[in-house]
């Protein structure tokens, strides 16, 4: 079946992917808004945000198993006709996210200074980055609850509610940041406070939703918590390996200079934005595959998965063409610094041409997460991350600059595509049932 031919799976995929697209695109807008507002305060502020933003993006991604693992388990339970179990899983995800969120927030605030220095920052840039990170730590428990709530709602095929909550929170964030940064003159600190307040409101809304869904039994359940953690720990290691590559890239560029890390901040946030937009089809994959395998429908899971991969690659091609077309003007939205713009220009073709590859990788990743194939995803990502980091170290030694670092990120995507593509084709992930 070609892409232009209609598929019986298209309506189901698009009904899930479109609201997922809105909510996924809303998530990185926090840091994109920060980047656009802070970028005009000056190069030290933008560089500080680049370092702190890399750390925060890593934390959001590493603990995204609270969303992805919850979606897979809730979807499988609901597909198997066990809605009460699905609702109880939502409550367990809430308790788990709060425990992890408070712990990570405390550690982030306590070690903000050493962390930004470890990333290669120094002087005024390091001081500004540490301040931003300490304030942002206050929003982490709310962000983690948001991840858990989003995962539960996706699992029961409710993708509209997360979209509404995230859009509202982003609107509040924009207003507060403009008020605090320019109205009150709080600078970089004002940007951080605006985001924290918006995250607090959003996290509270998701917590109330989870508690209402599990009103018949909200108590912590050791067995269900263990089930969430079993898949969650594999996704945790998988995502840690992924973002280790990005952290190495950010740390290397911080040592090259403020212009390089500023350019990386712009390109990386746009990369993350497009990645999460492409991930909309992967979210549909998590839901459809989890529910289909929970109900024992292996052929439905396989055929829907093939269609999702084709659609995701096509979206990546469109994004690649769009990014190449807007290259002369889009970076100017974030900065007018000529040194930063020159560095952005040097890596833009790599960034743009990665998009079709990203489309294939993200769709495959979502399909295997929905199938609960966390162990394989963990090992394949460890291999991909090690390959990328090794290439980055060679690039640093040979002084290839920002281009070498972005080629290392391309290696990451290529190795991921080879490993999980082979796994998908072998069909060993098609395991049915809830138990």
pLDDT of residue 260: 80
- Check pLDDT > 70 for residue 435: no
State pLDDT tens for residues 63-102.
888 888 898 889 888 888 888 888 999 999 999 999 999 9
- 103 against 218, higher pLDDT: 103
User: Taking the complete model, does pTM exceed 0.85, yes or no?
Assistant: no
How confident is residue 376, by pLDDT bands cut at 50, 70 and 90?
very high
- Check pLDDT > 60 for residue 365: yes
State pLDDT tens for residues 328-357.
888 888 777 788 888 888 889 998 989 999
Q: If you average pLDDT over residues 106-113, what whole number do you get?
A: 94
Q: If you average pLDDT over each of 33-37, 106-110, 179-183, 294-298, which comes out highest?
A: 106-110
3-state secondary structure the chain: CCCCCCCCCHHHHHHHHHHHHHHHHHCCHHHHHHHHHHCCCCHHHHHHHHHHHHHHHHHHHHCCHHHHHHHHHHHHHHHCCCHHHHHHHHHHHHHHHHHHHHHHHHHHHHCHHHHHHHCCCCHHHHHHHHHHHHHHHCCHHHHHHHHHHHHHHHHCCCCHHHHHHHHHHHHHHHHHHHHHHHHCCCHHHHHHHHHHHHHHHHHHHHHHHHHHHCCCCCCCCHHHHHHHHHHHHHHHHHHHHHHHHHHHHHHHHHHHCHHHHHHHHHHHHHHHHHHHHHHHHHHHHHHHHHHHHHCCCHHHHHHHHHHHHHHHHHHHHHHHHHHHHHCCCHHHHCCCCHHHHHHHHHHHHHHHHCHHHHHHHHHHHHHHHHCCCHHHHHHHHHHHHHHHHHHHHHHHHCCCHHHHHHHHHHHHHHHHHHHHHHHHHHCCCCCCCCC
Q: If you average pLDDT over residues 132-150, what whole number do you get?
A: 94
Q: If you average pLDDT over residues 217-244, what whole number do you get?
A: 84
Q: If you average pLDDT over residues 219-247, what whole number do you get?
A: 84
**Percent of the chain's residues with pLDDT above 90:** 37
C-beta separation of 302 from 430 below 8 A: yes
- Check pLDDT > 90 for residue 111: yes
pLDDT of residue 354: 92
Q: If you average pLDDT over residues 383-411, what whole number do you get?
A: 89
State pLDDT tens for residues 21-79.
777 666 666 667 777 888 778 778 888 888 888 788 778 877 888 888 898 889 888 88
* Range of weakest confidence among 8-12, 232-236, 391-395, 397-401: 8-12
Burial class (CB in 10 A: 0-12, 13-18, 19+), 398: exposed
- Check pLDDT > 60 for residue 4: no
Q: If you average pLDDT over residues 116-125, what whole number do you get?
A: 81
Q: If you average pLDDT over residues 149-174, what whole number do you get?
A: 90
pLDDT of residue 5: 58
C-beta separation of 253 from 260 below 8 A: yes
pLDDT of residue 400: 87
pLDDT of residue 19: 84
- Check pLDDT > 80 for residue 194: yes
């Amino acid at each position: 079946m070609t892409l232009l031919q209609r598929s019986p799976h298209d309506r189901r995929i698009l009904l899930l992917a479109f609201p997922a697209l809105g909510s996924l695109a809303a998530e990185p807008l926090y840091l994109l808004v920060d980047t656009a507002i802070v970028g005009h305060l000056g190069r030290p502020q933008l560089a500080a945000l680049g370092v702190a933003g890399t750390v925060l993006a890593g934390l959001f991604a590493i603990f995204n198993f609270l969303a992805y693992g919850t979606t897979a388990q809730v979807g499988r339970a609901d597909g198997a006709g066990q809605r009460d179990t699905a609702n109880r899983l939502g409550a367990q995800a809430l308790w788990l996210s709060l425990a992890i969120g408070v712990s990570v927030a405390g550690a982030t605030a306590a070690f903000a200074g050493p962390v930004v220095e470890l990333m290669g920052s120094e002087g005024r840039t390091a001081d500004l980055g540490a301040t931003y990170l300490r304030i942002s730590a206050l929003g982490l428990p709310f962000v983690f609850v948001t991840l858990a709530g989003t995962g539960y709602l996706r699992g029961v095929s409710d993708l509209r509610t997360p979209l509404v909550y995230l859009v509202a929170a982003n609107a509040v964030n924009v207003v507060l940041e403009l008020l605090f940064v320019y109205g009150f003159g709080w600078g970089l600190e004002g940007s951080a406070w605006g985001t924290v307040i918006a995250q607090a409101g959003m996290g509270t809304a998701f917590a109330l939703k989870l508690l209402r869904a599990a009103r018949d039994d909200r108590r912590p359940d050791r067995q269900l918590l263990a089930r969430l953690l079993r898949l969650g720990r594999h996704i945790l290691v998988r995502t840690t390996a992924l973002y280790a590559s990005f952290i190495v890239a950010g740390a290397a560029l911080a040592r090259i200079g403020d212009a390089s890390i500023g350019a990386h901040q712009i390109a990386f946030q746009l990369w993350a934005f497009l990645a999460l937009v492409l991930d909309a089809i992967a979210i549909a994959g998590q839901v459809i595959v989890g529910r289909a395998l929970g109900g024992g429908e292996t052929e439905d899971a396989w055929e829907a998965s093939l269609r999702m991969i084709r659609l995701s690659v096509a979206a990546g091609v469109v994004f690649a063409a769009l990014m190449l077309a807007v290259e002369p003007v889009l970076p100017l939205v974030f900065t007018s610094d000529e040194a930063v713009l020159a560095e952005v220009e040097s890596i833009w073709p790599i960034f743009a041409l990665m998009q079709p590859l990203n489309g294939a990788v993200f769709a495959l990743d979502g399909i295997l997460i929905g199938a609960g194939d966390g162990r394989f995803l963990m090992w394949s990502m460890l291999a991909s991350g090690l390959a990328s980091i090794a290439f980055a170290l060679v690039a640093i030694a040979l002084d290839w600059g920002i281009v070498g670092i972005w080629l290392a990120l391309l290696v990451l995507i290529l190795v991921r595509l080879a490993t999980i593509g082979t796994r998908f084709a072998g069909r060993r992930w098609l395991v049915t049932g809830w138990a």
